[in-house]
Amino acid sequence: METSTQGAERPDGDGTAGQDPQAVTVGASVPGARPPASLSPSRASDFMQCPLLYRFRVIDRLPERPSEAATRGTLVHAVLERLFDAPAVERTAPRARSLVPGQWERLRESRPEVVELFADDPGGERLARWLGEAERLVERWFTLEDPTRLEPAERELFVEAELESGLTLRGIIDRVDVAPTGEVRIVDYKTGKAPRPEYAEGALFQMKFYALVVWRLKRVLPRRLQLVYLGSGDVVTYDPVPADLERVERKLLALWEAIRLATETGEWRPRPTKLCGWCDHQAHCPEFGGTPPPYPLPVRAEASGDGEQGRMGPG
């Protein structure tokens, strides 16, 4: 499940991203700051989108404002998860729609910061429209899947696997279905619209990540990966093969090496794209005239033969 920029999944764990015995440590770390020790689909996507964004979220842990779209996604996910608590015959669209108000209250209690989304809406009109949009997304699901015929093996399943390289992969899978024959289907709900075909590979990256984790953890190759796009009413499926997941693993290892190097040198470069307009961290980004906060980890500079230290990263 990847419905919000922060808080939707378990945080990357403590530990070290790896150390180079030929390097020297410069500076001191800030108490509480730790190098990343695991990789999730959303954080991998962050680094590929913009290394500096990854730093702000994982190392600096800068706060971000909740968004209506991401919060609505979290709400819809909660409703679809809870619907399976009911007997199969009771899993109807009206029943699911009736869960929306209660799940919204639970979300407000667990994440009080979402209340500020509607702080300027004293009459409640905007909130009512927003909840109505969530209800319509929930109802659309019933045109794509029949929950009366589904008995998920797992819902909101936290998975974690350590690769032979030592890299730990982790994430949360929305739904896992297991057929009587033992075949596994991984399902992820998306409250947005399906991407155009030329962007489908990027959308499948998260699902292949999950498939790799399940494959390495359970020694079972998922039979099918399924993305359910509630925003557009589309279902995208993909049947993975070992060679494909092995390519994903190699890509993740290369990505992790780049993260390790950036962590040790403090070199987290911004990568400007059209997505910058939605970024909460423009005030800290050099591309917008901002200055990143002091780097909270020790910087490791390469030791040279004449004893001089290499160029330090931001500190």
How confident is the model at residue 15, as a pLDDT? 36
Q: Quick check: 16 pLDDT over 80? A: no
pLDDT at 266 over 80: yes
Q: How do the domains of the chain map onto residue ranges?
A: 151-275
Q: What average pLDDT does the segment 281-305 reach?
A: 87
- Averaged pLDDT of the chain: 88
Distance of alpha carbon 117 from its chain centroid, rounded? 21
Mean pLDDT score, 232-248? 97
pLDDT at 9 over 60: no
Q: Is the domain defined by 151-275 classed in CATH 3.90.320.10?
A: yes
pLDDT reading at 232 higher than 70: yes
Percent of the chain beyond pLDDT 90?
81
More reliable by pLDDT, 292 or 19:
292
* Residue 215 scores a pLDDT above 60: yes
Contact 194, 232 (CB under 8 A): yes
Q: What is the pTM of this model?
A: 0.84
Two tokens, residue 314: 């931001």
SS3 (DSSP) at 251: helix
How far apart (Å, rounded) are the C-alpha atoms in residues 189 and 184?
17
Helices (H) and strands (E) in the chain, counts: 7, 7
Residue that wins the pLDDT comparison between 201 and 73: 73
238: pLDDT strictly greater than 50: yes
**Both structure tokens of 234:** 């589309």
For residue range 160-179, list pLDDT tens digits in order: 999 999 999 999 999 999 99
Q: What is the pLDDT of residues 64-99, one digit of tens each?
A: 999 999 999 999 999 999 999 999 999 999 999 999
CA 303, distance to chain mean position in Å, is 36
35: its two tokens = 């190098």
> What are the tens digits of pLDDT across the range 109-147?
999 999 999 999 989 999 999 999 999 999 999 999 999
pLDDT band at 13 (very low <50, low <70, confident <90, very high): very low
Residue 258 is predicted with a pLDDT of 98
pLDDT of residue 30: 58
Residue 303 above 80 pLDDT?
Answer: no
